[in-house]
């Protein structure tokens, strides 16, 4: 990514040599805590604990591409739910496209061990955590 001026980024070349050039310079904005609140494509919302709770397409982007993702946390700060919406241009409303619940294990420092469908609690995926190369749960 190339830094142009005043927090604006101009282009990006990925590992395959493809480049991204926005139609206009993207101005990055931040709140008083240093959290990014906008990047030209997305608006970001943070809670009082500086946890990202919502990412939403900016209203000046094409409606057909609008997306919203929200996260919910429990009292211990663990992410417990993720809900994804897509804008329905026909009805003019947000429609849920994915709703996930996360189950964490306190013995694994709050790491997610299960993702459930938020509607009917069916298993979406599970995770197995174990020792890493250093022989610990959170080492190298």
Predicted model pTM: 0.70
The number of folded domains in the chain is 1
Q: Let me know if residue 103 belongs to a domain.
A: yes
Q: Let me know if residue 75 belongs to a domain.
A: yes
What residues make up the domain containing 107? 62-126
Choose between 127 and 140: higher pLDDT. 127
Choose between 7 and 66: higher pLDDT. 66
Q: Let me know if residue 50 belongs to a domain.
A: no
Question: Residue 37 has what pLDDT?
Answer: 97
Is the Cβ–Cβ distance between 80 and 86 less than 8 Å? Answer: no
Q: Over the stretch 43-97, which tens digit does the pLDDT of each residue have?
A: 999 999 999 999 999 888 888 889 999 999 999 888 999 999 999 999 999 999 9
Choose between 104 and 82: higher pLDDT. 82
Please spell the DSSP secondary structure of 84-140, one letter per residue: EEEEETTTTEEEEEEEEEEEEEGGGTTEEEEEEETTT--EEEE------TTSSSS--
Question: Residue 20 has what pLDDT?
Answer: 60
Terminal-residue alpha carbon distance, the chain: 29
Q: Over the stretch 12-47, which tens digit does the pLDDT of each residue have?
A: 566 676 666 666 677 899 999 999 999 988 999 999
Run of H or E including 116: strand 111-117
Distance of CA 13 to the CA centre of its chain: 22
Q: Let me know if residue 137 belongs to a domain.
A: no
Instruction: Return d(Cα 29, Cα 138) in angstroms, integer.
Output: 34
Q: Let me know if residue 5 belongs to a domain.
A: no
Q: Let me know if residue 85 belongs to a domain.
A: yes
Query: For residues 60, 62, 64 and 70, what is the CA-based torsion angle, rounded to 10 degrees?
Result: -30
Q: Let me know if residue 49 belongs to a domain.
A: no
Say which residue the tokens 């070349």 belong to.
13
Question: Residue 3 has what pLDDT?
Answer: 47
Question: Residue 1 has what pLDDT?
Answer: 47
| 108 pLDDT higher than 80 | no
């Amino acid at each position: 990514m190339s830094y142009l001026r005043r927090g604006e980024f101009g282009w990006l070349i990925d590992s395959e040599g493809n480049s991204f050039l926005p139609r206009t310079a993207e101005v990055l904005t931040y709140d008083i805590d240093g959290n990014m609140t906008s990047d030209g494509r997305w608006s970001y919302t943070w809670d009082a604990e500086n946890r990202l709770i919502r990412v939403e397409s900016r209203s000046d982007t094409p409606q057909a591409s609008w997306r919203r993702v929200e996260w919910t946390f429990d009292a211990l700060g663990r992410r417990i739910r993720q809900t994804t919406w897509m804008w329905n241009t026909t009805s003019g409303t947000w429609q849920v496209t994915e709703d996930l619940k996360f189950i964490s294990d306190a013995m694994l420092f709050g790491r997610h061990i299960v993702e459930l469908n938020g509607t009917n609690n069916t298993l979406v995926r599970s995770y197995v955590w174990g020792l890493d190369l250093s022989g610990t749960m959170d080492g190298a």
